[in-house]
Chain A
Amino acid sequence: MWSTLLHSNTMWVLLSTAILGIAAGVIGCLAYWKKQNLMSDALSHAALPGVVIAFFIIGEKNLLLLVIGAAASALFGAFLIQWITGSSRITEDTAMGMVLSVFYGVGVMLLSIANRSAGGNQSGLDSFIYGQAAAMVRSDVVTMMVLAGIVIFIVFIGFKEWKLYLFDASFAKGIGMSIRGMNALYTLILVTTIVIGIQAVGVILMAAMLIIPAVSARYWTHSFRNMILLSATFGGISGAVGSWISSTGSGLPTGPFIVVASAAFFIISLLFGKEKGIIVGYIQFKVQQRNSSELLAIKDGDAS
């Protein structure tokens, strides 16, 4: 066990998925309060054509450039969702479903052309899209960690602003904050987190890394700050545990293990969470019941 862990590449991968988990946990909280949980799913699928087009242009697998392609394509998807929802009777979830599947379809078309024309050169591209953290080389890891670091930094430095933007937009506007600017920044960091996560966990499971830790954290606290810290912790630990498990055997996929690890956190939170957790809720209910029946007994005593 320790020998695999000390293997230098595994160490790097572990570190990078942990940082990715932290970034996703933090951004997930913003998405949770914007009630846009599934937006991340739509945008991660929408990134696919951009990845392949970037690959066509540069002709090799360079993480930073693929990430830029992915981000451009995901941002275009986000723009389409907003445009369709804003200018027709189509609801947001329908628009998301369409962008998700049509973009993915275009991505599959392009990918099949790339596979045909580029010969054996595309194997790296496949692992980029379906996610295999073990396939990452040191420079990929560094790119990922720097970008994730920037995203985390942006949220922490503007913490007060984010809080206003999410919970009292009209007040934020009143004191001169640009809601439009905050919206753009939010979309930008959401898309950045998604596209850097794609290589580690794949297009499909990226949504889980954003949604699950945030919802789990909600069961432990009412404070937004604590929610972000907890969600980051859950995300970080899940990332590390998932990639540690996948490093213990060959052919074990990283993304799914990260998701299962964070699902475990969710189930624990759902049951035992201090706020609204099922068991705590049940105990509170019972205590309340006993108190009120005692109260009734006292009242009955008074009456007699």
Chain B
Amino acid sequence: MTYTAWIILTAALVGLSCGLIGVFLILRKQAMMADAISHTVLLGIVLAYMVTQQLSGTAMLVGGILAGILTAFLVQMLNSLKVQHDASMGIVFTTLFAIGVILISTSVGNVHLDVKHALMGEITFIPFTTVSLPIIGEIPRATALLAIVLLIVIFFIVAFYKEWKITSFDPALAASIGIPVLLLHYVFMTLVSVTTVASFDAVGAILVVAMLITPAAAAYLWTDKLVVMLLLSGSFGVLAAIVGYWIATWLDTSISGSMAFATGLIFLVSFLLSPKHGLVSKWVKPPEIIEHSS
């Protein structure tokens, strides 16, 4: 495959896995948790690097995932100590991120990890680090990793579909019929961390938030059915990746930035034009209340 094809494929994998995970993030009203985890993953990656002294995919993945789970745990803990939920999130992620930045700029600095790279991602370098797999042959490491993560994400969504659905829409009901809500919360946070770490190399810490939240929010405006929302959100993610790449080549600018911008465009179109919740349809259609009263 060509250089461009690998980049688009990698971006599309990011868009698809993030799109699927994002649906549950916004249904569970934990959109900002994506922001928190995407920042703290940095600390995990730095610590993993300090321990193993190499930038291997596995060490980074493990470090990032542990950092993500630690974030979820600390937020939960502060929250149980009666700190407002969003305040505990703000305290935890900024502090862990600050520690990460201090570590990078004092001991690890200038190796390969620098804050700017971590924040913005550099998808153009993806095709240069490859692994060879049986049957398939040489493929970029990040692409292989993202493909595996996508399979994991799909497996967890399909296998526990009913549980996710009930805990997302009605946690109280879920708890009363014996579904382990807290366990599922941590499983979910782990999935968010896995997706974030895997997407990290490609799109960076902050833009992964765009890929996680925005396609899902756009899909939420089009449908009331969870399955449809998942399919739509995944497709929007892929679409944003492709459109974003196209914009970036056209303007000769950052690919990850353009991908985030493209998710914004997709949301804008949905916000204006979706048949049920769009602004235009609300404007064209007279409010239902008037029809009832007449």
Chain A positions within 8 Å of B, measured between CB atoms, are 32, 35-38, 40-41, 45, 84, 87-91, 93-98, 100-102, 104-113, 116, 126, 130, 204-205, 207-208, 211-212, 214-215, 249, 251-253, 255-257, 259-260, 263, 266, 270, 276, 278
Q: Knowing A104-B207, A252-B105 are in contact, say whether A205-B87 is a contact too (CB < 8 A).
A: no
Contact check, A109 vs B258: say whether CB atoms are below 8 A apart: yes
Q: How many A-B residue pairs have CB under 8 A?
A: 196
Task: Say yes or no: is B162 at the interface (Cβ < 8 Å to chain A).
Answer: no
**Are A253 and B257 neighbours in the complex by a CB distance under 8 Å?**
no
Cβ–Cβ < 8 Å partners of B94 in chain A = 204-205, 207-208, 211-212, 259
| Residue of chain A at shortest CB distance from B211 | A101
Contact pattern, B 260-279, Cβ under 8 Å of A = 1, otherwise 0: 11011001000100000101
- The distance in angstroms between the C-alpha atoms of A296 and B248, with both chains bound, is 75
Interface residues of B in 16-46 (CB under 8 A from A): 26, 29-32, 34-35, 39
Complex contact A263–B259 (CB within 8 A): no
Structural contact, B213 and A98, CB atoms closer than 8 A:
yes
Q: Find out whether the CB atom of B99 lies under 8 angstroms from the CB atom of A102.
A: no
Which residue in chain B gives the minimum CB-CB distance to A264?
Answer: B95
| Interchain CB contact under 8 A, A204 and B97 | yes
Is B91 interfacial (CB 8 A cutoff)? yes
Taken together as a complex, chains A and B put the C-alpha atoms of A87 and B280 apart, in Å, by 11
Q: How far is the CA of A130 from the CA of B26 in the complex (A)?
A: 29
A108 touches B256 (CB 8 A): yes
Indicate if the CB atoms of B101 and A113 lie closer than 8 Å: no
Q: Are A105 and B84 in contact (CB under 8 A)?
A: no
* Interface pair B261/A41, CB less than 8 Å apart: no
Contacts of A96 in B (CB 8 A): 31-32
Offer 17 A-B interface pairs, CB within 8 angstroms, sorted by A. Answer: A38-B89, A93-B29, A93-B30, A97-B213, A98-B213, A98-B263, A101-B206, A106-B261, A108-B207, A108-B260, A204-B97, A204-B206, A215-B83, A251-B105, A251-B106, A256-B98, A259-B98
Q: Is B76's CB within 8 Å of the partner chain A?
A: no
- Taking a contact as CB atoms under 8 Å apart, the answer to whether A102 and B221 are in contact is no
Q: How far is the CA of A196 from the CA of B81 in the complex (A)?
A: 32
Interface of A is mostly: helix
* CB contact between A107 and one of B248, B257, B263, B267 (< 8 Å): that residue: B257
Please give, as numbers and ranges, the residues of chain A lying within 8 Å of B256 by CB-CB distance: 105, 108
Q: Judge if B115 is at the interface, Cβ distance under 8 Å.
A: yes
Chain B: CB-nearest residue to A218: B83
CB-based nearest A residue for B95: A263
Task: Please name all residues of chain B whose beta carbon is closer than 8 Å to the beta carbon of A100 when the two chains form the complex.
Answer: 35, 206, 209
Of the candidates B29, B84, B106, B264, the one whose C-beta lies within 8 Å of that of A106 is: B264
Does B253 interact with chain A (Cβ within 8 Å)? Answer: yes
Nearest A residue to B214 by beta-carbon distance? Answer: A98
Q: Provide the bound-state CA to CA distance between A8 and B258, in Å.
A: 43
What separation, in Å, do the CA atoms of A72 and B239 have in the docked complex? 30
Nearest 4 CB-CB pairs, A to B? A105-B260, A108-B257, A208-B94, A101-B210
Least distance between A105 CB and chain B CB atoms (Å): 2
- Verify if B12 is at the interface (C-beta below 8 Å from A): no
Chain B: interface secondary structure? Answer: helix
Tell yes or no: B82 within 8 A of A by CB.
yes
A35 contact set on B, CB distance < 8 A: 84, 86
| Bound-state Cα–Cα, A88 to B116, Å | 35
Q: State the Cβ distance, A68 to closest chain B Cβ, in Å.
A: 23
**Cβ-defined contact, A215 with B213, below 8 A:** no
Please give, as numbers and ranges, the residues of chain A lying within 8 Å of B207 by CB-CB distance. 101, 104-105, 108
Decide: A256 near B99, CB < 8 A? Known: A41-B90, A93-B32, A278-B81: yes
A256 cross-chain contacts in B, Cβ below 8 A: 97-99, 101-102, 105
Residues of A within 8 A of B214 (CB): 97-98, 101-102
Contact across chains for B261 and A32 when beta carbons are under 8 A apart: no
Query: With A38-B86, A108-B256 as given contacts, are A88 and B206 in contact (CB-CB < 8 Å)?
Result: no
- Residues of B with C-beta under 8 A to A208: 90-91, 94-95, 98
Cβ contact within 8 Å between B95 and A37 = no
B291 within 8 A of A: no
Given A100-B209, A259-B98, are A94 and B31 also a contact pair (CB < 8 Å)?
yes
B213–A105 touching, CB < 8 Å: no
Alpha-carbon distance between A257 and B102 when the two chains are bound, in angstroms: 7
**Does residue B236 face the partner (Cβ distance < 8 Å to A)?**
no
Residue on A nearest B26 in the bound complex, by CB: A94
For A259, list chain B residues within 8 Å (CB).
94-95, 97-98
Further contacts, 11 of them, CB under 8 A, given A87-B282, A105-B260: A45-B206, A89-B220, A97-B35, A105-B206, A106-B261, A108-B120, A113-B253, A212-B94, A215-B91, A249-B106, A263-B98
B85 to A, closest residue via Cβ: A37
Q: Are A205 and B97 in contact (CB under 8 A)?
A: yes
B57 at the interface (CB under 8 A from A): no
